[in-house]
Structure 1
Amino acid sequence: MNDGLRPGDPTRLGGYEVLGRLGEGGMGSVFLARSPQGRRVAVKVVRAELSHDDEFRGRFRSEVNRARQVPPFCTAEVLDADPDHDPPYLVVEYVEGPSLARVIREQGPLRPAQLHSIAVGVATALTAIHGAGVIHRDLKPANVLVAPGGIKVIDLGIARAFEATSRHTRTNQMVGTVSYMAPERFDTTSGPPVGPAADIFAWGAVVAHAATGRNPFGGDSPTAIAMRILTQPPDLTGLDGPLRELVSRALEKDPAARPTARELLDGLLTAAYPVGVGEPAQPLIGTPTAGVSPAAGGDEQGRRPVPPAPAPDPDPAPVRRAGSRRRGWLTALAATAAVVAVLVPASLFGPQLLSGRSTSDRDGPAVTGSPTASGPAAAGSTPASGKPPPSTGADPTRAILAGQRRILLHVVEIDRDLSLPFHGELEVGDGTGKDALFVLEPVGVDYMIRSVNPDIAHRPCLGVKIDAKGYASLVGADCYATAATVFGITREGKDDKGRTSYSIISDEYGVVQWSPSKKGIRVEFLGDAPVPTTFSLVDRGAV
């Protein structure tokens, strides 16, 4: 909410015109501003009494560097920063939409469909944040924004990299909000080190609060709340079903007993969706706005990837879609509950085949993300040892989904293969050259598609590019998870060799397909039309 400027507030910061005050916190104030290009942005300014503290300035510099590593589809994207300015400031994407705290305050506890969407959205954000090597450390309803394009987890100003949780923090100094702090946060001397599990605990407290309207460790003072967190079980009265079990696990006292963000996400997406028959339609926020941002490479505003549609029978016919866009929990979050009830279940039931696929499906599970993935890009498929787990050979699809196998992207309908030569323009060919080899890199439940052509030193990932006439095509792009570079992959049927075929879909731009008239690969929405182009993922050996 823009509250206008107070006496003493800056009117300009660098090249940014300050328009009003959005809020303030422990580190400083947040202002609404206008960039030199006319874009509205949020500018976070360090408090005057802290800006001359070398220790704090070091923390702020770390904040900027770490925040740049987090994929922007789930957080407010870092646009600019000047740690050396007096006072230092950070410029991030301005996100329209109320905070979860405001939604709960105005509407009360969320309905099951809304609650599940929030739980999934925040778990997805944590998967990406942790995959970038960052701990949020202050996850709470006020830092979850319910935006038209999906939820955004904001305020990474006190997030700390895994390997630097105490470098800029004085003894006995804590950052965060007591009601959402994990037990280990209260003992920084002899207790276990604070890691990503602390954010998982906060996720459980946030979801419990959204479900019931109260904190699961409620007390009449911060000290009383802290004591309950350390010694008492959470009060989850009013939270039922599979979500209660996940929240209970997230709120375990022992950090090692909590699930990872990726395990939370898998659990949420495989749980039975909680919408009851005849549940009254009630919007969480307004209907999302439509529009296509200028694409390619990585300078557009990325949006959260969307889980794939439900997996078909073991030997299915091609799937027809009911709408022009493959919607899931991301758009359901910003749409009415009626849209949630119809569209979210499709995305939530899809990944069930990861843990319970049919024995007659020789090609492995429906493509919904690797069970070993915990974050974006290659970090999602590599364990702490730095080496990918060995492939057993019994399930090649899982190895492909984990980013462990090189593949050909075989266009079934024209019996050709995609290739990305060094010049960065996508072509089709016979699949014999090094420029035809790709690898899937998990990003949440979707993927980036990266060329393993050694001649491509930059822009090796496939991304959507919009030309001057508004037509979308695939080109080489920088490997950052954005709306232009993240794709869902959904099983469609079988090719003429009996291999499973898939559609490749950008939620922002449409279906990847072969255009006979243009003699090239295009990306566009299809409405109710069947998917005209499918792809086989042909195994070509270990990465």
Structure 2
Amino acid sequence: MSMPLRPGDLARLGRYELVGRLGEGGMGTVFLGRDPDGRLVAIKTVRPEYAADTEFRGRFRSEVNRAQQVPPFSTAEVLDADPDHEPPYLVVEYVDGPSLAAEIRDKGPLSGSALHSVAVGVATALTAIHGAGVIHRDLKPGNVLFARGGIKVIDFGIARAFEATSQHTRTDQMVGTVAYMAPERFDSLDGRPVTAAADIFAWGAVVAYAATGRTPFAAEAAAATAMRILTQPPDLRGVPESLVPVVERALAKDPVERPSARELLDLLLASSVTKSGSAGTGSAVPGSAHAGSAVAVPVGAGPVVAVSDQGARVGVPSGRRRSKALAAASVAVLLAGGLGAAIRYLPVESGGAEVGAGPSPFLSAPAQVSPGVAAPGEPVTPEERLAAIMRGNRQTLIHVAEIDRDLSLEKHNAEVEVGDGTGAKSLFALDSLGVDYLIRSMADPSVERCIGVRIIPDVGSEVVATDCTPTKGTIFELARSEKTDDQGRPTYWIYNDTYGAVQWDEDEKSLYVQEVGDADVLTTFSFVDRGPLPATASLGTPSSEPSR
């Protein structure tokens, strides 16, 4: 489902009319467009900081040309691109179907033929992508869509253009999602390039997530997830026995021990004999009538990785494996603070926001903390503090930039007001729901109170306190504006996808929600760090799933 265009959005890109927004990430914005024949398409634009790099534009052009050679079965077909346009853009087939991430969020893990069809469908897509010489680099549940007739994999083909340009090769700018990244992507010791085997690892993590609703190396923070990927065996509890051997091989630490996409597909098809005697072909979707559980054909699993108390790997004698063991041990030492160093990881939690979507949190790990030096894990720069706020790790003031005031919610009052930014009444936290948020009051961390939209028929709307249940009235999106506040902090529009943008009424001295398109959206908000969450706070555990 698309969202309305926002004030300032272009009406056209090249020969394409823009009719809505499909999403926004670290690399750019995806619009719903219409070609001259009336066909709906998805158009991905590139952020200005990338578009200004001539090396990026060259790589973008070559990667798109390569991606256009990928057969369109099981993938969203690449239709067009203009790397010389301002901004550069890529046009792909529009797939009108939910993502795997949305299906698992709304309906729970898959099983039986639906799960096997996802495994086969994604492996089929990787076979086509790799066969054209393309590496996806960001395979994740959000990039797997349920289309009419089967699975479609999207967002392949241009990741290398972002990752390989000279000014975008730092470890804090890798393109991808931490929970689905292969170990070699964190390995800076042997300098091996990313190969198609990284996509196979991501396939294993995606299938495990589809079967269980969690990633196989899930941890509370991105750095901890990366450490588990480097040093721990996957947690495959809940994955059907028929798929465990194949998923284990895909999640092997050493890329040479993983099957190719073609081999992966052969293994899956060999184990797809169901109770009804039919083979899984990737055409079933969740909720379909096609039933039956797969019968496993024995498949040799990859080696089991053992980890010592010190974090070094045990029982891996080869030189290649020894290098990986050193990489894992080095990361363990850095995180433990033994070198007094700092390691930049990615601006995401293990659940899966995009790497490269913003500044990276600085995970400082000095051997000891001196006066005036940030404690381990404490964000240092304004960018790092903002990233921690966006991840839901910090309390924040929500500053109304145009009037230099702050949102305020008294314990006894239902209406959200503005105040002077003092006291617990002005403290909030962003509770991440993928790319959207609940906005939670920290006035009393033991009580769940979030900001929501109240519609008053024939009168208007109010911004009020309500339960922290994800509904169409409580889920908000933050959209970066071009403005800054009086302290130079970036500002955002706060949108509710159903009702509109949160605005300040100067005449009424109150907040309201303005339907998008009625008038220009004038009110912007910045976020001011107010320290770590109190020990009693528990974000990320809403009382129910989002209402549809």
Q: TM-score, normalised by structure 2?
A: 0.51
**Could you tell me which residue of structure 1 aligns to residue 283 of structure 2?**
331
Equivalence map 1:66-81=2 (5 Å): 66-81=66-81
Greater relative CO (CA pairs within 8 A, separation 6+): 1
Does the alignment pair 1:117 with 2:69?
no
Q: Is the aligned partner of 1:196 residue 2:196?
A: yes
Q: How many Å separate the matches in 1 of 2:219 and 2:158?
A: 25
CA pair 70-160 structure 1, distance change in 2 beyond 3 A: farther
Mapping 1:488-503, distance limit 5 Å:
none
CA shift at 1:81, angstroms? 1.2
Q: Give the 3 Å change call, closer, same or farther, for CA 244–328 of structure 1 in structure 2.
A: closer
Matching residue of 1:269: 269
- Residue matched to 1:11: 11
**Alpha-carbon spacing, 1:193–1:170, altered in 2? closer, same or farther (3 Å):** closer
Which structure 1 residue ranges, 5 or more long, are not aligned?
278-308, 311-326, 353-543
1:458-497 alignment to 2 at 5 Å?
Answer: none
- The one-letter code matched in structure 2 to 1:337 is S
| Residues 204 and 274 (structure 1), Cα distance of their counterparts in 2 relative to 1, 3 Å cut | farther
Distance 1:131 1:157, change over 3 A: closer
Q: Does structure 2 retain, via aligned residues, the 8 Å contact 1:138–1:158?
A: no
Q: Residues 158 and 30 from structure 1, CA distance in 2 versus in 1: closer, same or farther, beyond 3 angstroms?
A: same
Aligned to 1:238: 238
Query: In structure 2, what residue type is equivalent to 1:108?
Result: G
Separation of aligned partners in 1, 2:69 and 2:159:
12
Residue 167 to residue 188, structure 1, CA distance change in 2 (3 Å):
farther
Cα distance between partner residues in 2 of 1:254 and 1:230: 10
- SS of the residue 1:101 aligns to: helix
Kindly provide the amino acid, as one letter, of the partner of residue 36 in structure 1.
P
Partner of 1:143: 143
Task: Give the deviation of 1:58 after TM superposition.
Answer: 2.6
* Matches of 1:81 and 1:272, distance apart in 2: 38
- Structure 2: distance between partners of 1:267 and 1:157: 26
Using the alignment, how far apart are the partners of 1:56 and 1:167 within structure 2?
6
C-alpha RMSD of the superposition: 2.5
Q: Which amino acid aligns with 2:259?
A: P
For 1:82 and 1:92, the matched residues in 2 are separated by 12
Q: Segments of 4+ in structure 1 off by > 6 A?
A: none
Whether 1:183 and 2:135 are equivalent positions in the alignment is no
* CA offsets 1:331-368 (integer angstroms, 9 cap, x no match): 3237x532354xx98xx99xx9xxxxxxxxxxxxxxxx
- Mapping of residues 105-504 of structure 1, within 5 Å: 105-160=105-160, 166=164, 169-172=168-171, 173-273=173-273, 329-333=281-285, 336-341=287-292
Question: What are the Cα deviations for residues 63-105 of structure 1, in whole angstroms up to 9, with x where unaligned?
Answer: 3112111111121111111110000111111111000000000
Is the contact made by 2:145 and 2:152 (CA closer than 8 Å) also made in structure 1?
yes
Q: For 2:291 and 2:37, how far apart are their aligned partners in 1?
A: 36
Contact in 2 for aligned 1:43/1:92 (Cα 8 Å): yes
Q: Does the residue aligned with 2:290 lie in a helix, a strand or coil?
A: helix
Q: Is the 8 A contact 2:60 2:83 kept in 1?
A: yes
Partner-residue secondary structure (3-state), 2:242? helix
Contact in 2 for aligned 1:242/1:271 (Cα 8 Å): yes
Q: From the superposition, tell whether residues 31 and 272 of structure 1 become closer, same or farther in structure 2 (CA, over 3 Å).
A: closer
- Kept after mapping to 1: 8 A contact 2:135/2:157: no
Q: How many residues align?
A: 295
The structural deviation recorded for 1:134 is: 0.7
Match for residue 82 of structure 1? Answer: 82
Q: Is the 8 A contact 1:100 1:142 kept in 2?
A: yes
Aligned-pair distance for 1:187?
1.7
Q: Deviations over 1:96-122 (max 9, x none)?
A: 100000000011111222110100000
TM-aligned CA deviation for residue 159 of structure 1:
3.9
Local SS of the residue matching 1:266:
helix
The separation in 2 between residues aligned to 1:340 and 1:71, in whole angstroms, is: 29
Q: 2:71 is paired with a residue of what secondary structure? A: coil
The alignment's TM-score, normalised by the length of structure 1, stands at 0.51
Q: What is the CA-CA distance between 1:188 and the residue it aligns to?
A: 4.2
Partners of 1:165 and 1:194 within 8 A in 2: no
Structure 1 pair 242–328 and aligned structure 2 pair: CA distance change class (3 A)? closer
Contact 2:118 2:151 in 1 (8 A): yes
Partners of 2:11 and 2:232 in 1: CA distance = 48
The 3 A distance-change label for structure 1 pair 9 and 18 is same
1:24 corresponding residue in structure 2: 24
Q: Specify the code of the residue in structure 2 equivalent to 1:245.
A: P
Corresponding residue SS for 1:44: strand
The residue identity in structure 2 corresponding to 1:339 is: H
Contact 2:273 2:280 in 1 (8 A): no
Partners of 1:230 and 1:184 lie apart in 2 by 8
One-letter code aligned to 1:175: V
Q: Do 1:127 and 1:261's aligned partners in 2 also have CA atoms closer than 8 Å?
A: yes
Question: Contact 1:60–1:83 at 8 Å: present in 2 too?
Answer: yes
1:272–1:132 CA distance, 2 compared to 1 (3 A): closer
**Distance in 1 separating the partners of 2:229 and 2:79:** 37
Give the secondary structure class of the aligned counterpart of 1:134. coil
8 A Cα contact 1:134 1:159, kept in partner:
no
Per-residue CA distance 1:305-348 (angstroms, 9 max, x = gap) = xxxx97xxxxxxxxxxxxxxxx96243237x532354xx98xx9
Cα deviation, residue 149, structure 1: 2.0
